Amino acid sequence: MSATLPIYLDDSATTPAAPEVANATLPFPRDQFGDPWATHPNGRVAVGAAIAMRDEGAAQRGLQAAESAAWSRVP
């Protein structure tokens, strides 16, 4: 029997990130920061990026984005 590890997605926690994940997210704390709940341009960029990353992660696992994970702050 193989053990299944949980997928832990919590934007308030600190967990190791795979190098490709860290590289994909680098522009956001450095250059493209914004509150995804805000309606100003930086917020729209942030929420668009979060949704795109969620959808890509779901697609890689053969899931629909809505069933892939519970996101605490992404609309």
pLDDT digits (tens, 9 = 90+) for 5-54: 777 676 666 677 888 888 888 887 788 788 888 888 888 888 888 888 88
Place of tokens 């914004």: 34
Q: What is the pLDDT of residue 67?
A: 64
The two structure tokens encoding residue 63: 């899931």
CB atoms closer than 10 angstroms to residue 51: 15
Q: What is the pLDDT of residue 28?
A: 79
> How many residues are listed for the chain in this entry?
75
**What's the pLDDT band for 62 if we cut at 50, 70, 90?**
confident
**What's the pLDDT band for 69 if we cut at 50, 70, 90?**
low
Q: How many CA atoms lie within 13 A of 58 on its CB side?
A: 15
pLDDT above 80: residue 73: no
